[in-house]
Amino acid sequence: MFIEIKTDKHPDLVFDYVINILKELNIDRRKAYDIAIKFPKKMPKGYGDSFGVCEGDKEDSIIYISNKQSFFEQMITLAHELVHAKQFMYGEYPSEREAIASEYHLFGKCFPFSELKD
């Protein structure tokens, strides 16, 4: 699995968080899948004021997280979108119900709070 993360805020912490979520979702050992995560100043055309978007298929996913949220809100949105990446990976129809039901649990269990600096 290849993971690319483009962010200016706490890149190492975000990477560790993503790895923790992938482990929790039991998809961290999948070798033939790529995930790109971007935190653009402006969301891609057509997505307006969305806080997060995941596009993907059985081979790869690209996730966009809006920077118009606080850092912690971005991390909750990232958990939500990684659930969609898992759904794409398995060829499932993206379910908002599953993503919404999982986002806070994943954030609470997987966020590396110990890495935050005072």
Listing DSSP states for 101-114 in one string gives HHHHHHHHHH--GG
Residue 51: per-residue pLDDT: 97
- Positions in the chain whose pLDDT score sits under 50: none
Residue 48: per-residue pLDDT: 86
Rounded CA-CA distance 112/44 in Å is 29
CA 14 to chain centre: 9
Domains of the chain: 2-113 (3.40.390)
Rounded CA-CA distance 19/37 in Å is 12
Residue 29: per-residue pLDDT: 82
Residue 118: per-residue pLDDT: 59
What is the model's pTM? 0.95
